[in-house]
Amino acid sequence: MSNRPETNKHSCPVYKKCGGCQLQNLSYPEQLEFKQKKVEKLLKRFCPVEKIIGMKTPYHYRNKVQAAFYTDKKGKIISGVYQSGSHHVVGIDSCQTEDVIADKIIVAVRKLLPSFRMTTYNEDTGKGFLRHILVKRGFATNQIMLVLVTGTPVFPSKNNFVKAILKQFPEITTIVQNINPYRTNLVLGDNQKVLYGKGYIEDILCGCKFRISPKSFYQINPVQTEVLYGKAIEFADLKGNETVLDTYCGIGTIGIIAAKNGAGNVIGAELNGDAVRDAIVNARANNLKNIRFYKADAGEFMREVADEDEKPDVVFMDPPRAGSDQKFLDSLIKMSPKTVVYVSCNPETLARDLAYLTQNSPYKVHKIQPVDMFPHTAHIECVCEIFK
Ligand code: SAH
């Protein structure tokens, strides 16, 4: 293909070792074609698939960057990503999918570690201090959060460390220490201390302001998120005053944008308590009174709403990769909203859920819109418009 040179120019030196960008051997137009075909293969039995919306500049799109740490036998500290499917750290200083400033902050922290006698956590022995770093940046606000994930709570040099990193990056707006003493694959632990700033950042999406805490889910590609949410709102076809459910709502983004776009009454449900707290604050920050959020399993929440004979007009659903479940879908059918908008980050579980829904109810899928949220990786996001 004609765009081969582009591929070579951007190909990454740790492409094979890292494994994060599974499609890097393809040019960007070829990647989009690959994803389009995959979605069609899985979903065209429900309805024709719209053309995937790609990014104009598909680089450095990630607003959240995570790094793992490791000290080699010679005592050299390495930071980077886990080799896919393993716990071996591949050293990287920059990545073409990650935010440039976030990558620079991670390298700077790594270089500061020895002078503060900060050790790195060893997964085999469970000993050592620094496990991970997480950087989140609001692309619209330029607020930056640095999270230091440590294996133990005692951080003797914390004040001087904070001063030293802020001297290099005065644009960092908050620094948080998250303590994760567990032998676990999860990056973040339960306890955290704010070392500097407010403990959260804010960002703006589709004209609405959002607060993001260290542990809350927030879409990692804000440019494409606006495209995705724009489609979700278009599919909801709000005329004004509808009752809308935002399920698997995270920090309330879709529901809040729906409320700003005419929904009369919005009810959100989300399992993660930190995200629900953010969602409640976000509703207030956007001057919305007609919106409530509940900390609940989405399936349980749907069952309760259906049992109460509530009749929402529109249901947004945006489950994690595992997709939704039968409890949720049965309640959805019982509730019988006019429109269902399904946002999915996994076309396989989407296909399973759409099959269940269409086989067990008169609902039909009318539009399937893939949006490329994760260039160079094999991940695919879709939004579907469903009604009877
Ligand atoms: N709609 C949001 C979040 C989507 S990610 C956005 O666009 O930002 C999926 C969300 O589902 C995450 O916030 C996750 O915490 C939540 N979640 C996972 N399992 C859940 C369940 N069983 N019930 C409710 N929420 C769940």
CA 3 to chain CA mean position, Å: 30
Domain membership of residue 18 (yes or no) is: no
pLDDT at 6 over 60: no
Mean pLDDT throughout 157-176? Answer: 98
Q: Of 170, 204, 238, which closes a domain?
A: 204
Per-residue pLDDT, averaged over 313-320, amounts to 98
Q: Which residue has tokens 């644009």?
A: 171
Residue 237 inside a domain? The answer is yes
Burial zone of 148 (CB within 10 Å; 0-12 exposed, 13-18 middle, 19+ buried): buried
Domain range for 162 is 64-204
Verify that 34 and 70 share a domain, yes or no. Answer: no
Please report whether residue 177 resides in a domain.
yes
Same domain, 124 and 200: yes
pLDDT for the residue numbered 10: 53
Which ligand 1 atom is at minimum distance from the Cα of 275?
Answer: 13
3 assigned to some structural domain: no
Residue ranges around ligand 1 (CB below 6 Å) = 217-219, 248-250, 253-254, 269-272, 275, 297-298, 318-320
Nearest CA to ligand 1 atom 22: 297
5 in any annotated domain: no
Question: What is the arithmetic mean of pLDDT over 350-364?
Answer: 98
Instruction: Ligand 1, residue 217: give the atom nearest the CA.
Output: 13
pTM: 0.94
| Residue 167 falls inside a structural domain | yes
* Residue 236 shares a structural domain with residue 377: yes
Shared domain for 171 and 239, answered yes or no, is no
Q: Residue 13 — pLDDT band, cuts 50, 70, 90?
A: confident
Q: How confident is the model over 222-266, as pLDDT tens digits?
A: 999 999 999 999 999 999 999 999 999 999 999 999 999 999 999
Q: Does 78 lie in the same domain as 51?
A: no
Residues 6+ apart with CB under 8 A from 366: 47, 385, 386, 387
Q: How many CA atoms lie within 13 A of 175 on its CB side?
A: 19
Q: What pLDDT is stored for residue 309 in this prediction?
A: 81
Q: Is 15 a domain residue? A: no
Mean pLDDT throughout 126-149? Answer: 97
Average pLDDT along the chain: 95
Which domain CATH number covers 164?
2.40.50.1070
Strands 265-270 and 291-295: parallel
Whether residues 43 and 72 share a domain: the answer is: no
Q: Is 339 helix (H, G, I), strand (E, B) or coil?
A: strand
- Rounded to the nearest 5°, which phi and psi values hold at 149? -95, 120
The pair of structure tokens assigned to 276 is 């629900």
The C-alpha atoms of residue 294 and residue 269 are separated, in whole angstroms, by 5
Residues 195 and 233 in one domain: no
Q: What is the pLDDT of residue 2?
A: 40
Q: Among residues 21, 95, 206, 345, which one is catalytic?
A: 345
Distance of CA 343 to the CA centre of its chain: 13
- Checking if the pLDDT of 289 tops 50, the result is yes
User: Within this chain, do residues 159 and 123 fall inside the same structural domain, yes or no?
Assistant: yes
CA 299 / ligand 1 centre spacing (Å): 12
- Mark which of 169, 204, 239 sits at the end of a domain: 204
Question: 99 and 45, same structural domain?
Answer: no
63 within 8 A of 136, measured Cβ to Cβ:
yes
* 95 labelled catalytic: no
87 located within any domain: yes
Q: How many folded domains does the chain comprise?
A: 2
3-state secondary structure 208-249: EEEEECCCCCCCCCHHHHHHHHHHHHHHHCCCCCCEEEEECC
Give the distance (Å) from ligand 1 centre to CA of residue 330. Answer: 19
CATH of the domain at 34: 3.40.50.150
Whether pLDDT at 364 is above 50? yes
Residue identifier of the C-alpha nearest atom 21 of ligand 1: 297
User: Which sign does the torsion angle of CA 208, 335, 277, 188 carry?
Assistant: negative
Beta bridge partners of 223: none
Q: Which helix (H) or strand (E) holds 136?
A: strand 130-137
Do residues 186 and 284 share a domain? no
Same domain, yes or no: 74 and 196: yes
